[in-house]
């Protein structure tokens, strides 16, 4: 008899919670501290597991390896190697021009008042790149957009990049703490919409997503996300040439932000929350067991070509004292060891904050908000009490 999904989620959460007790009572000398096994922590873990169960139920069958993938991966490996992109991944990413068709309008809703910036993305995969024609057929993906909160006088800017399944103003502005950043910390805030999210998703075939099971679509999605964010940065710098600009991102947005940090030397800071580092590893980790056999032959070739969009293959251009990470000790979606710690090591062990919680409710963590504020103060983007330092909140 098949066990219902919610019961499996409860069992997995219970097993993890028992493991938390063991780690708390017998802590190791590792770099990740042991979490306290509290009822609140258990709730975070259960919610993460329920979210994963719901995703697997809704997308059952959509996580299978598409039939065209192996041929595309093989062709891409040859093309990327010939072009030198596997040994020099930054060369894969072309520098985009500033948008010349940007339009902005004021929007009032029941929850938020903001400005909506829009412009044509202009991104195209390289000529002859595998999957190029399919990606360009996603017509709704062509318009880039961002939600803008800005002051009347010049202020520093913070670009806030959302996670997967987001890209809608009421969700983004709330979960990314945009109002607090704007009103309390005095920043101008820009929240870009990632490819195949929000209004950019309609028109794509069923099962199409970024990130998703299509390896080349993931590479195109990451490359376009970086392209669009860099165009947004160019628009900001045209509007406010003297204003410093930082970037922060959560989950998938942390992944995109870490890639941008390896291409833009003028960022004031990069603050990554619960960041994804390796999309292939993430897909392997969450693929149902009965589908994993179909992925086995594709995993290593997929990892090989995905170096062109891996933050572990590039060096951040921001000084280490302006790189920051925060992550959940009980994250069941983004594995702390397989994802966060790999980036922390690659980024030369910058300041990192571990909060006692999971992935889905990261925005409910007061300690991560304090860490974010302290990081912005240290980076010179906002002011705060003299004793409000990273050491005081970690």
Q: What is the DSSP string of 212-239?
A: SS-HHHHHHHHHHHHHHHHHHHHHHHHH
- C-alpha–C-alpha distance, residues 100 and 361, integer Å: 38
Assigned architecture for domain 72-393: 3-Layer(aba) Sandwich (3.40)
Angle, CA of 308, 346 and 265, to the nearest 5°: 65
Can you list the residues of the chain whose pLDDT is less than 50?
1
Which residues, other chains included, contact 118 with Cβ-Cβ below 8 Å and sequence gap of 6+? 102, 103, 104, 143, 144, 145
Cα separation of 205 and 183, whole Å?
Answer: 40
Strand partners for 106: 115
Q: Rounded to whole angstroms, how far apart are CA atoms 321 and 243? A: 20
Would you state the pLDDT for residue 166? 94
Domain locations in the chain as residue ranges: 1-60, 72-393
Pairwise CA distance, residues 308 & 195, whole Å: 18
Helix, strand, coil content of the chain in percent (nearest 5): 45, 15, 40
Contact 367, 355 (CB under 8 A): yes
Q: d(Cα 72, Cα 138) in Å, to the nearest integer?
A: 18
Cα dihedral across residues 340, 369, 228, 231: positive or negative: negative
Whether residue 211 is preceded by a cis peptide bond, meaning omega within 30 degrees of 0, is yes
Q: Beta partners for 192?
A: 146
Q: List, in sequence order, every beta strand (DSSP E) within 234-317.
A: 245-250, 270-273
Query: What one-character-per-residue DSSP string does 302-351 give?
Result: HHHHGGGG-TTSS--SS-GGGEEEEEETT-SSS-IIIIIHHHHHHTTS-E
How confident is the model over 298-317, as pLDDT tens digits? 788 999 999 999 999 999 99
In what order do the strands lie in the sheet containing 157-161?
103-108, 113-120, 143-149, 188-192, 157-161, 245-250, 270-273, 323-328, 351-355
- Both tokens assigned to 362: 């990261």
Neighbour tally for 140: CB within 10 Å: 14
* Strand bridging mode 103-108 / 113-120: antiparallel
pLDDT computed for residue 11 by the predictor: 66
- What's the burial of 112, exposed, middle or buried (CB within 10 Å: 0-12/13-18/19+)? middle
d(CA 200, CA 319): 34
Tell me how far apart the alpha carbons of residues 354 and 270 are, in angstroms, rounded to a whole number: 17
- Provide the terminal-to-terminal Cα distance of the chain, rounded to the nearest Å: 47
Rounded CA-CA distance 312/321 in Å is: 18
Give the pLDDT of residue 4: 55
* Cα–Cα distances in angstroms (integers) from residue 25 to residues 36, 94, 332, 353, 354, in the given order: 9, 51, 21, 21, 18
Tell me how far apart the alpha carbons of residues 162 and 252 are, in angstroms, rounded to a whole number.
Answer: 7
To the nearest 10°, report the CA torsion of 226, 104, 175, 256: 0
């Amino acid at each position: 008899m098949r066990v219902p999904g919610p019961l499996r989620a409860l069992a997995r959460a219970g097993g993890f919670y028992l493991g938390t007790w063991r780690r708390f009572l017998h802590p190791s000398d590792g770099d990740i501290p042991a979490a306290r096994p509290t009822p609140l922590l258990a709730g975070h873990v259960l919610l993460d597991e329920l979210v994963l169960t719901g995703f697997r139920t809704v997308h059952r069958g959509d996580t299978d390896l598409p039939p065209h993938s192996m041929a595309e991966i093989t062709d891409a490996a040859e093309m990327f190697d010939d072009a030198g992109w596997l040994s020099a991944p930054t060369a894969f990413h072309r520098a985009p021009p500033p948008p010349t068709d940007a339009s902005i309008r004021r929007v009032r809703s029941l929850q938020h008042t903001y400005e909506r910036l829009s412009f044509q993305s202009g991104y195209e995969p390289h000529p002859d790149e595998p999957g190029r024609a399919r990606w360009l057929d996603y017509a709704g993906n062509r318009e880039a957009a961002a939600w803008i909160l800005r002051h009347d006088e010049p202020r520093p800017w913070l670009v806030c990049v959302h996670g997967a399944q987001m890209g809608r103003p009421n969700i983004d502005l709330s979960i990314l703490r945009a109002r607090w950043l704007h009103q309390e910390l005095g920043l101008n805030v820009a929240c870009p919409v990632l490819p195949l999210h929000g209004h950019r998703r309609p028109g794509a075939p069923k099962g199409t997503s970024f990130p998703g099971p299509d390896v080349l679509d993931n590479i195109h999605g990451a490359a376009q996300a970086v392209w669009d964010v860099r165009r947004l940065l160019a628009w900001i710098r045209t509007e406010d040439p003297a204003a410093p600009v930082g970037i922060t991102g959560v989950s998938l947005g942390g992944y995109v932000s870490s890639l941008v940090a390896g291409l833009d030397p003028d960022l004031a800071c990069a603050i990554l929350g619960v960041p994804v580092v390796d999309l292939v590893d993430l897909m392997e980790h969450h693929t149902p067991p009965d589908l994993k056999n179909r992925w086995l032959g594709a995993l290593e070739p997929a990892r090989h070509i995905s170096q062109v969009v891996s933050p572990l293959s590039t060096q951040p251009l921001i000084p280490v004292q302006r790189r920051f990470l925060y992550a959940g000790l009980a994250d069941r979606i983004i594995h702390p060891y397989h994802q966060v710690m790999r980036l922390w090591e690659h980024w030369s062990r910058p300041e990192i904050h571990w909060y006692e919680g999971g992935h889905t409710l990261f925005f409910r963590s007061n300690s991560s908000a304090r860490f974010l504020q302290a990081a912005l103060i240290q980076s010179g983007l906002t002011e705060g009490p003299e004793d409000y330092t990273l050491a005081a909140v970690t």
